[in-house]
Structure 1
Amino acid sequence: MADEFLVNARLGRDLAESTTQAYATSVALYLRWCARTGLAWVQATARLGRFVYWLQHEDGGSLVRLDDPVRGARRVNTVLAAVREFIRFAVATGQADPAALEPLYDLVPDWDLPADVRGEGPARLRPRARHGLREPDSLIDAASPEEILGLLRACRNARDRFIVVAMWCMGLRRGELTGVRREDVHFVADASRLGCGIFGAHVHVRRRENVNKASAKSRRHRAAPADWLTVQAYDRFMVERDACRAAQDSDFLLEALSRRAALERKVHPHMARHVVFA
């Protein structure tokens, strides 16, 4: 049953490989808990509160201190969301009784929804997940300019400096950046000659099946704008990349330049060492 659910998630719904892997881990935790408690996975939904407690405090089969949870609220809620999807799939495919869904949801009025979503007329009932932990509000600990500068100084080649700059300035995920092809990079003022109507320097982020396992999380194609610093870092990287004969046959933008190729490249030492900062 779990295999069918994961195959449907990856192939039927075209979810990212990383998302499918997260689903697999979450469902495995649920089935492990069911096996240890002696409950059938269909009937265990009525006792999901105990599963929440187990997720918080179980570590390698033993309970830990109550003031030292193994999994935080966000992680527990992620697992619960995957379990609900698993049970819904089982019900939809006729492998579980619809009654298995009843302990998972409460029917509540839709007054808390925005007016444009709720529509006019009396309140309607909608299902709301019954189990979940309150996640604490936390500020995003973004890297400071000083920390980014420290990373750039620690980089030993132009490729690594471009990776740091592109992720910092463009907000690209690592799976998005490592899946970029050379044809996706439009670092020109006018890309109309390339068949692109987007103005200004940008990178097209597309979801593909790549041999290097890199994948954009979103199915939707988007164009990420690039600033002057990113373009400068890209130019420095291209000098090194074009000098590496092994990388010229690859369509992927990021290629690991071998030590031998790096020694053979004819690059001015100053250009190979630093990115110019404004």
Structure 2
Amino acid sequence: MNQININEFDIYAAFQNEGYISSIDVLNNIIATTDTKNVIKIYDINEKKEKLTYKIEDIVINDIKLLKSFLEESEEPCINFEIKECLFSAYENRKKCKIYHFDILNKKTIHIFEFTSEINDNSFALHPNTHIFITSLKSKELLIYHIQNKSLLFNIKVQNEHCIASYNKTGIIYAYTPNVNTIYLCSCFGDDYNDEYFANFDISKITDNTNICTHIDFSVDEKKMLVTTKHNNIYTLDAYTGDLLYSYNFNYENIPTNLPFHISYPIYSFDSNYVLSGMFNL
């Protein structure tokens, strides 16, 4: 990208030393990015400049999540907050078994959540308005943690080695795949979690022949769900009935379907009318 094209953007983030961006999160006016060379960069959208760069040695950072620090009690707590901390998962010795709770301003680790098994890709989800996160392990467990108390709230045994999880935008519903052919929808209020689902969607028609589900996202209006599968398909489902609405296929003649999935974090647009997705350049 040349300098003329760069000047067309309000903010341009570039990583040196041949690293590439491994995750992005946006909260309020703050953008957080990580790269494969262990670098965290924080940008302020309003000021249109980089606020912080920090390098952590000996790990590969992935899946950064910005945390809300609430200022005071309010009728609208989701608005009255600032951003001081973040979470990110990390690879050490080629295994992703830890989630770091990190102080952005003081550039120090607050706590490390360490697991006995590897974290599944796309299973690390942060609740929109509370200090709770969900993640699943390859040992067929779905774990729900309270960040401030450093405590395990719930451990759900699943039948899926590649279980993934996601919250809806208001954080009153979480979805996960207990097996390769099903999505469970469960309610959650504050610290009250259980494994009793109020809806389950059969997705066997789109996950046949080992074409497992790899990503779930809810639309902003919460009427639709987005499901990505291993063989580079994106499906949109009715979030109330589980009915298939649309499908998008990203298989190309020169890309074998047996390669690891390479659709990159598809999401809904803010108006819920479009699906946005990156692609790995193989």
The answer, yes or no, to whether TM exceeds 0.5 is no
More helix by share: 1
- Give the TM-score taking structure 1 as reference length: 0.25
Larger Cα-atom Rg? 1
Answer 1 or 2: higher relative contact order, Cα 8 Å, separation at least 6. 1
